[in-house]
Amino acid sequence: MIKLNKTLATLALAGSVAAISSPAMARDTINIVGSSTVYPFATVVAERFGTTSDFPTPKLESTGSGGGLKIFCQGIGTNHPDITNASRRIKSSELELCQSNGVEDITEFRIGSDGIVIASSKDAEPMDLTLEQLFLALGEKVPVDGEWVANPHKNWSDVDSSLPNKPIRVMGPPPTSGTRDSFNELALAGGCDRLPEAADLSEDQHSATCESIREDGAFIEAGENDNLIVQKLMGDASMYGVFGYSFLEENSDRLQAAKLDGVAPEPQLIAEDKYPVARSMFFYVKKAHIGVVPGIKEYAAEFVSPAAMGPNGYLKDVGLIVPTRDGLMALQKKLDKMPNLTMSELK
């Protein structure tokens, strides 16, 4: 009976391997999903990889960080993505989803820093906002006379008389975006926590109140396309947009960024976490696909190479705030060992 069980287990394992590498499902092109913020950097790496290696140029899809992780964690096999990009770290609940679907061996690469900016056309009035003012402008509920009520502020000047007397209109990413997650956590909740009324909120109330954006038209969701926000700002000097620093740098001749807490989004300040809405970026590799879909580890090696992410690397030229020398060396050591991400690392 024990021998029979071992035989059945062996057959089951062989079947699962066949499901991954079956010729009917085989593909020779790396499939990458995830963050719209990481997308432009990954695109540059993929194009360089496709022209300088013997592997095809990887296929990339901008699905948002949350959307990408959900797709990535659906299972093992060549009908599932090999890599997902994220502009925030994977959550423990997402890692649990991966594990429940058999995606147990994942390596995490932290690839650099980015800042979330509040940008506008250069024709717009420059803004210098505190995080508290930003929350009072965009929070779904704000305190009025000690009570949390639906946000009544129509104009920026309703929040503070020093701000422009024009309607609050901000375009930004949807809930599936890592930029939205980071904005809610770092900017909105950061501002909310400065209000004395926030101290009385329970943990559940804090999350629901301090990280919720108003839905009455003051905040407009633009989908997973930061370039669309850029285009809208070009034609409307009364609109502000929320996106990653790289899109600001790419359009610095036409856009400007608001200061937050008196700090402008500059690369050095973002890298040193002195800009209040700085965040890290990542990509995650599904180790079960290495050796099944060709070129996965080689693509990761290109991404974390000195040529790409060194102090004079080509990703720095397109706006990535690259890691320190020690950080880059740590990434290359990680590439050699490909350690599994564990739940304890996320707590």
| pLDDT of the chain, 347 residues: tens digit per residue | 434 343 334 434 344 444 444 444 578 999 999 998 899 999 999 999 999 999 999 999 999 999 999 999 999 999 999 999 998 999 999 999 999 999 999 999 999 888 999 999 999 988 999 999 999 999 999 999 989 999 999 999 999 999 999 999 999 988 888 888 889 989 999 999 999 999 999 988 998 999 999 999 999 998 777 778 888 888 888 999 998 888 888 899 999 999 999 999 998 888 888 899 998 899 999 999 999 999 999 999 999 999 999 999 999 888 888 888 888 999 999 999 999 999 999 97
Q: What is the CA radius of gyration of the chain?
A: 22
Question: How far is CA 139 from its chain centroid?
Answer: 21
Query: Which listed CATH number (3.40.190.10, 3.30.9.10, 2.30.30.90, 3.40.47.10) goes with 18-113+280-346?
Result: 3.40.190.10
Alpha-carbon gap, residue 257 to 50, rounded angstroms: 35
- Which numeric CATH code is attached to 115-278? 3.40.190.10
- What does each C-alpha distance from 20 to 14, 24, 116, 180 come to in angstroms? 10, 10, 38, 34
**pLDDT value, residue 21:** 43
DSSP secondary structure code for residue 201 in this structure = -
Rounded to the nearest 5 percent, the helix, strand and coil shares of the chain are 40, 20, 40
Structure tokens at 152: 């009544």
- The single-letter code of the amino acid at 124 is A
Please provide residue 212's backbone torsions phi and psi, each rounded to the nearest 5 degrees: -110, 130
Mention every residue, 6+ apart, whose C-beta is less than 8 A from residue 212: 139, 140, 141, 184, 188
**pLDDT value, residue 203:** 85
CB 25 within 8 A of CB 31: no
Buried b (16+ CB within 10 A) or exposed e, 33-68: bbbbbbbbbbbbbbebbbeeeebebbebbbbbbbbb
Helices (H), 35-170: 39-52, 65-72, 92-100, 131-138, 156-159
Helix (H, G, I), strand (E, B) or coil at 114: strand
Length in residues, the chain? 347
Alpha-carbon gap, residue 1 to 283, rounded angstroms: 45
Q: Of the candidates 192, 200, 184, 329, which has an alpha carbon nearest to the alpha carbon of residue 242?
A: 184
**pLDDT value, residue 23:** 43
Structure tokens at 265: 């989004």
Helices (H), 163-313: 178-182, 189-192, 203-210, 226-234, 245-250, 267-271, 296-303, 306-309
Does the predicted TM-score (pTM) go above 0.85? no
Beta strand spans in 10-105 (E): 31-34, 59-60, 83-86
Alpha-carbon gap, residue 31 to 285, rounded angstroms: 11
Alpha-carbon gap, residue 301 to 289, rounded angstroms: 16
Q: For the chain, where do the domains classified as CATH 3.40.190.10 start and end?
A: 18-113+280-346, 115-278
DSSP secondary structure code for residue 80 in this structure = S
Structure tokens at 243: 């996106």
Q: How many CB atoms lie within 10 A of CB 94?
A: 20
